Amino acid sequence: MSYIPLSLYTIALLGAALTLLSFRNMSSQTTVQFGSQPAIISVKSSDESEELESASIRELVEAKCPSLFKPFKPVWWLCNGHLQTVHCVTGDFSKIDPLQYNRTYLRLVDGGTLGLDFAPAVADESKVKPDTPIIVVQHGLTGGSYEPYVRAIVKPACTPVEEGGLGYRVVVVNFRGCAGTPITSQQLYSAGHTDDLRQALAYLEHRYPSAPLLGLGYSLGANVLTRYIAEEGENSRLISGCALACPWDLEENNHSLLNSFLGTQVYQKGMGGNLQRLVRKHQESLLIDPEHRVAKAVPGVLALKKPTLAEFDEAFTRIAGGSAPTFPFPDADAYYRWASSHKVLKDVRVPFLAINATDDPVVHKVPMSASDNPYVTMVLTGGGGHLGWFQSGDGITSRWFTEPVLEWMKLTEALVLPSKLRNPPSTYVDEEGFVCEQGRPHLGSKVIPGGGIVDGNGGEAGALQGL
């Protein structure tokens, strides 16, 4: 275990040296791109009054998210995207942002299980207002609610207002098999499968009917979030979305990573190895019905030696990454084309903020022009790597994105969307106790025993975990 981060650091240092040698102009400028005609939206002016303030998304973001326009200044010893990324996955954050979650396990209609981690873990329900906003988080590839980049938002968001936080609830929806969530059906997750998020959101709306739901996704989770919001359009249960380090065009990322040495040796193999470990850990459950298409794919994927992400996706994700009939795909490239999120941004119909870094070693193409959509704001920082954004200033662990993301949550929590943009299918409980949505009887969830308090800083070992 200790050898892996060390070699990663060596390679990243090499990357840093190459960057310096190439004299690339490392601008620290942050580009914020609004639509040419940003949508006009209404927000409540304050908690006390019922008055509405109407303005364009651009005016509201400029007024209420000032931190978004601050340049990103990296700490000097994490001076490029590789070092930022490697520190993100190998740094010791176990003492940072300590928190606990209260977990609820949801059994889905298809037999699968989701682990929903709620913060604050211990809430005096009689004191929490029913309309307290809920931030719904989707983590990165093979990550979980324990990820330091997740805690960097969860901690300040769920800290009470009196103690300087936002006083919100946060729910991290752990993907199947992640952060201790068991696998109970022959299906994993993927960058494109949105039904698990959809079912979690229906459950949350049923449990907290008057709470606004705000979406936040990281990397692979950002891709799922973007696709969910785009697929639902005017029926999105999330009233806003924020996507950090979204991979967008998966086919393009695959090509550019595999066409570079570091991309292949560090990132592709790091991510492929983590996914293979996840399958190894859960192989018994994935093999339960040996005739199932997923069971037939297990031996092959476990036999791969140091697989790249592309090799893993070819052997497994295209088969097991979601439900039939969408899955299986004939090959991984077909899966990449389907799951990419850049091409669906045009369908987003709620305020949506996407932040990427220019020197992200994993994501090479950012669809900046997508903000032709009046609801979309695209942001590109001059550095930060993939989910790093470690800045100089008050301590090495401060992340540039914390402030702008919290400001965005505060802004969009106060949103009052016109009723035509607030039309998700209504929920009901069926005869077997599943919370379902009108018109989607194949989806639904019910609480099963086994939840409770989990240590948010527990972690799960593995290099490049959570990217």
Ligand X SMILES: *[C@@H]1O[C@H](CO)[C@@H](O)[C@H](O)[C@H]1NC(C)=O
Q: Which of 4, 13, 96, 258 binds ligand X (CB under 6 A)?
A: 258
Pairing of strands 352-357, 376-381: parallel
Residues 6+ apart with CB under 8 A from 461: 1
User: Residue 108 or residue 350: which is nearer to ligand X going by CB?
Assistant: 108
CA distance 463 to 141: 12
- x/- site string to ligand X, residues 361 to 390, per CB under 6 A? ---xxx-x-----------x----------
Segment (H or E) for 55? strand 52-56
Smallest distance, Å, CB 341 to ligand X? Answer: 14
Within 202-221, the residues that bind ligand X by CB under 6 A are: none
HSE value, Cβ hemisphere, 13 Å, CA-based, for 7: 11
User: Residue 333 or residue 347: which is nearer to ligand X going by CB?
Assistant: 333
Segment (H or E) for 357? strand 352-357
**Alpha carbon of 30 to those of 397, 401, 421: distances in Å?**
20, 12, 30
CA distance 241 to 153: 14
Part in contact with ligand X (CB under 6 A); list of ranges 209-217, 230-238, 353-361, 388-396: 353-361
User: Residue 275 or residue 380: which is nearer to ligand X going by CB?
Assistant: 380
User: Residue 90 or residue 253: which is nearer to ligand X going by CB?
Assistant: 253
Quick check: helix, strand or coil at residue 251?
Answer: helix
Q: Any contact of residue 359 with ligand X (CB under 6 A)?
A: yes
User: Residue 274 or residue 358: which is nearer to ligand X going by CB?
Assistant: 358
Smallest distance, Å, CB 11 to ligand X? Answer: 16
Residue from 233, 249, 229 nearest 369 by CA: 249
CA distance 117 to 142: 16
- x/- site string to ligand X, residues 92 to 131, per CB under 6 A? ----------x-x-----------------x---------
Smallest distance, Å, CB 331 to ligand X? Answer: 6
User: Residue 20 or residue 52: which is nearer to ligand X going by CB?
Assistant: 20
Q: What are phi and psi of 181, to 5 degrees?
A: -75, 130
User: Residue 348 or residue 357: which is nearer to ligand X going by CB?
Assistant: 357
CB contact at 8 A, 451 and 104: yes
CB contact at 8 A, 62 and 45: no
Task: Return the percent helix, strand and coil in the chain, to nearest 5.
Answer: 40, 20, 45
Within 270-329, the residues that bind ligand X by CB under 6 A are: 310, 313-314
Part in contact with ligand X (CB under 6 A); list of ranges 5-13, 251-259, 386-394, 423-431: 251-259
Find tokens 């050898």 and name the residue.
Answer: 3
Part in contact with ligand X (CB under 6 A); list of ranges 16-24, 252-260, 405-413, 427-435: 252-260
**Alpha carbon of 340 to those of 98, 136, 164, 249, 251: distances in Å?**
34, 21, 38, 5, 8
User: What are the strands, taking DSSP E only, across 161-256?
Assistant: 169-174, 213-218, 240-244
User: Residue 329 or residue 375: which is nearer to ligand X going by CB?
Assistant: 329
Within 438-467, the residues that bind ligand X by CB under 6 A are: 453
Smallest distance, Å, CB 106 to ligand X? Answer: 11
User: Residue 28 or residue 259: which is nearer to ligand X going by CB?
Assistant: 259
- The DSSP string of 442-453 is EEEEEEEEEEEE
Smallest distance, Å, CB 417 to ligand X? Answer: 28
- x/- site string to ligand X, residues 322 to 341, per CB under 6 A? ----------xx--------
Smallest distance, Å, CB 311 to ligand X? Answer: 7
Q: Any contact of residue 255 with ligand X (CB under 6 A)?
A: yes
User: Residue 118 or residue 228: which is nearer to ligand X going by CB?
Assistant: 118
Smallest distance, Å, CB 388 to ligand X? Answer: 13
Smallest distance, Å, CB 467 to ligand X? Answer: 15
Residues 6+ apart with CB under 8 A from 58: 34, 35, 38, 377
Q: Any contact of residue 63 with ligand X (CB under 6 A)?
A: no
Cβ of 225: how many Cβ atoms within 10 Å? 29
Give the interface size with ligand X as a residue count (CB under 6 A): 21
Q: Any contact of residue 259 with ligand X (CB under 6 A)?
A: yes
User: Residue 170 or residue 414: which is nearer to ligand X going by CB?
Assistant: 170
CA distance 340 to 74: 29
Quick check: helix, strand or coil at residue 354?
Answer: strand
- x/- site string to ligand X, residues 407 to 436, per CB under 6 A? ------------------------------
Which residues are near ligand X by CB under 6 A? Answer: 102, 104, 122, 254-255, 258-259, 310, 313-314, 332-333, 358-360, 364-366, 368, 380, 453
